[in-house]
Amino acid sequence: MAEGGLRDNDPPREFVFISGDILNPQVHWLTDSSQVPLLSKPFDMATLDKVLDQVIARRFGNRHVAAVQRTT
Q: What is the number of structural domains in the chain?
A: 1
Length of the chain: 72
Does the global pTM surpass 0.75? no
pLDDT in tens, 38-58: 999 999 999 999 999 988 888
**At 13, phi and psi to the nearest 5?**
-65, -20
26 vs 68: which has the higher pLDDT? 26
Q: Is the dihedral of CA 15, 16, 18, 24 positive or negative?
A: positive
Domain residue limits at 60: 3-71
DSSP letter string, 11-49: PPTT--EEES-TT-HHHHHHHHHHT--EEESS--HHHHH
* pLDDT reported for residue 48: 95
pLDDT in tens, 2-39: 444 445 666 566 789 899 998 999 998 988 888 888 99
* pLDDT reported for residue 8: 60
